[in-house]
Structure formats: structure tokens, C-alpha cells
A = this chain, B = another copy of it.
Amino acid sequence: MDQLDSFRDNSWDLIDINSFIDEAPSDFFWNDQIQNQNQRAVAELEAPLSSATFQEECIETECPRKRGRNESCSKQGNKACRERLRREKLNERFSELCSVLEPGRPVKTDKMAILGDAIRVLNELKTESEEYKEINQKLMEEIKTLKKRTNFVKRNSH
């Protein structure tokens, strides 16, 4: 019964907070980064570890200053904030993977599609590399026989 009451109280808190604080739009970071990468190709791509520097301006309990909704981070504990950080880092990885997949624009936004493309490209590159390796083998053999023949001809010509 105690459990039940506390649970209901949490529900109250939840709704209370949301109804007063939560007026900002939701998915900003992901779209922003993607659009940035879309328009100006590189620039901040030199920092795939941007989360490290990013950690510095937002150490632990403090929150990124990216956009609204973050006011709820300072109050009400930092659990939600850390979770948000985790999500953002994950999205960074997604975006990075996407840019590796197709250096040409336009960058995909769909996580499912990104993963699918990653799998596809990975397999393609594997077979491509394998094919090249086989060709190399054959070319080397051909070179060997060619050298042999050259030497043979030389020897016979004297």
C-alpha cells in the first residue's frame, strides 16, 4: 500500500512538472547536427570526440545549454539530465556513422535506415576488399610467370 501511494504521488509530481515547465519543442539536437552536416560539410567533424569537450562545459550535475527543457535538469535531480546526455552521445554516434557511410549528402535521419545502410555497406566493402585481394593474388602469379618466361628467353638468346 505504501508502494501504491508513493507511486501515485510520483504521478502527481510528474504531471505537475510537465504542465508548468514543458513547453519547449522536443527533438532539436539531432536535427540541428544533421542540418549542420548537410550544409557546411565538415568543419566540426574534426571533433568526433566532441562529447569530451562537451563534458567540460557540462560537468556531471550541470546540463548542456543547448536549448529549453533543460531548466528541468537543475531541479528534480540529474538523473533525467544524464539520460539525456546519453541519448545525445548516442545520436552523435549515429550522425557520425551516417557521415562515414555516405560522405556525399544528403544525410539520413532515420536510425533504422542508418543501421540498415551500415550493414549493407559493411558487407559490400567486405566483398569488395575480398575481390581485390583475389585479383592481387592472380596478378602476382602472372608476374611470377612473366618473370620466369623473361629469364628463359634471355637465357636462350645467349
Contact = CB atoms under 8 A, between A and B. Distances in A.
B122 A94 contact: no
Nearest to A3: B15
Copies of this chain present: 2
Contact of A122 (B100, B143, B146): B100
A136 B135 CA distance: 7
Interface in A101-158: 101, 111-112, 115-116, 118-119, 121-123, 125-126, 128-129, 132-133, 135-136, 139-140, 142-143, 146-147, 149-150, 153-154, 156-157
A158 to B, nearest CB: 9
A69 interface: no
A53 interface: no
A38 to B, nearest CB: 19
Contact of A89 (B4, B11, B112, B129): B112
A15 B4 CA distance: 8
Given A15-B7, A157-B156, A97 B125 contact: no
Given A3-B15, A118-B122, A111 B132 contact: no
Interface of A: 3-4, 7-8, 11, 15, 89-90, 93-94, 96-97, 100-101, 111-112, 115-116, 118-119, 121-123, 125-126, 128-129, 132-133, 135-136, 139-140, 142-143, 146-147, 149-150, 153-154, 156-157
